[in-house]
Structure 1
């Protein structure tokens, strides 16, 4: 799955790695059971509910780009489950993200998945929310994994954390 809009985005949304469907349709968080898009909409961050299950439409891409969103993953390799990734892939992914952030200078990075963030950035005690460290000058936020397999989150709890990350540090 390609990175989306990193060259112009001020707010990067970073997944763990592309799943099979996301790779096939070239769109992030595309599985119908994933709560990412409903949470983004509930948070008021998009004007309509995006359906990425068949890929992003040109209208979706335009709206996301104009809203300042960028999309990438810690690990670019597609797998059926994140458990198939090695620690080395996470560490290499963290270095890749640092280099991309140095190049493009986003305002904030939002990682969707606490376990992946802890592994990639060697922060075993990291908690959800704003992190004390910056990456290339960008605020770092960690939110829950929106996968339908994550029983610890709901659309509403995800929406609340997304909105907090989105509004922090934004000019009002």
Structure 2
């Protein structure tokens, strides 16, 4: 992909991979330029979402971004807090995050996944005015949907290794497999 093709993808929207009643709806911060150019979520080669999803047991094999629709077969989906693509998440404004959070809440109310998994604690804090939120399950709910904040799988997030990230995703997978939104 040329730099010109990537720049042409700025501000594009990548369609959600969604359905009603999912076990987990993963939520990225916003699409990167590679995702916008290809139309596939988490498409940048250094992004660890797909390897972590497999290592944590959510998928039986590592899917490629171009196979994202297969997630629906596993009761999984993908959306974003902010729909528009940018080169970096720090190009987004707090207002965009808050509006994205409002629209995300409406989407979750309509689709009713068991869990909403927001990949990025800073995005979650800003979008939902939860400045003290930490990675893991949250007290806040959206209707009957529980919320789990995951580490951002971007290669820029050096605080989390592939292994520690897979462990956190696996904690969510175990909670999602418990069957009910309340964890009983």
Q: What TM-score results when the alignment is normalised by the length of structure 1?
A: 0.92
1:9 aligns with 2:42: no
> Following the alignment from structure 2 to structure 1, what is the Cα–Cα distance between the partners of residues 58 and 176?
15
The 8 Å contact of residues 15 and 113 in structure 1, kept in 2 or not, is answered as: yes
1:77 aligns with 2:84: yes
1:152 aligns with 2:159: yes
The 8 Å contact of residues 43 and 160 in structure 1, kept in 2 or not, is answered as: yes
Q: Aligned match of 2:123 in 116, 121, 135?
A: 116
Q: Aligned match of 2:145 in 133, 138, 145?
A: 138
The 8 Å contact of residues 48 and 155 in structure 2, kept in 1 or not, is answered as: yes
Output aligned runs, 1:11-160, within 5 Å: 11-52=24-65, 56-57=66-67, 60-61=68-69, 63-160=70-167
SS at 1:70 equivalent: strand
The 8 Å contact of residues 12 and 110 in structure 1, kept in 2 or not, is answered as: yes
Structure 1, residues 67-117: CA drift from partner, whole Å, max 9, x if none? 011100000011000001011100001110110111111100101000000
Unaligned runs of 5+ in 2: 1-13, 180-184
Runs of 4+ in 1 over 4 A off after TM superposition: none
> Following the alignment from structure 1 to structure 2, what is the Cα–Cα distance between the partners of residues 160 and 149?
19
Q: What TM-score results when the alignment is normalised by the length of structure 2?
A: 0.86
SS at 2:139 equivalent: coil
**How many matched pairs?**
166
Root mean square deviation of aligned Cα: 1.3
> Following the alignment from structure 2 to structure 1, what is the Cα–Cα distance between the partners of residues 17 and 128?
22
Unaligned runs of 5+ in 1: none
Radius of gyration: which is bigger?
2
SS at 2:142 equivalent: coil
Structure 1, residues 23-76: CA drift from partner, whole Å, max 9, x if none? 111111111101111111111111111122xxx13xx52x31110111000000
The 8 Å contact of residues 98 and 136 in structure 1, kept in 2 or not, is answered as: no
